[in-house]
Amino acid sequence: MGGMKQVGILREEEKQTAITLGELKVMGVGVFCWCNRCRHTATLTTSELLVEMTPDFPVPEVGPRLICSDCGSKDIATRPAWPFLGAGTLH
């Protein structure tokens, strides 16, 4: 039964798609970024990011294209800057 549950979970994950920069722009939500090396954080507007990326660009894939302005690391993680999560929340 464990194998069937795993298959079901994988199927559900395949149906999910990451939110895009274009979708965030419509909602007026920015992109929260944090450096996994020095823990520096910043929130970028979707307008800033759309200069270099397309509206259908997935938000989780933005991080690898960024460089930390504090330490120069390219190990950046990103998520939508949902207002209800607060600026310091990393999850």
Q: Does some domain include residue 31?
A: yes
Give the residue-averaged pLDDT of 71-81: 96
The pLDDT tens digits for 30-44 are 999 999 999 999 999
Q: Which two tokens stand for residue 80?
A: 């939508």
Q: Does some domain include residue 26?
A: yes
pLDDT tier, 10 (very low <50, low <70, confident <90, very high otherwise): low
Q: Does some domain include residue 5?
A: no
Print the SS3 string covering the chain. Answer: CHHHHHHHHHHHHHHCCCCEHHHHHHHCCCEEEEECCCCCEEEECHHHHHCCCCCCCEHHHCHHHCCCCCCCCCCEEEEECCHHHCCCCCC
Domain containing residue 25: 18-83
Number of domains in the chain: 1
pLDDT tier, 17 (very low <50, low <70, confident <90, very high otherwise): confident
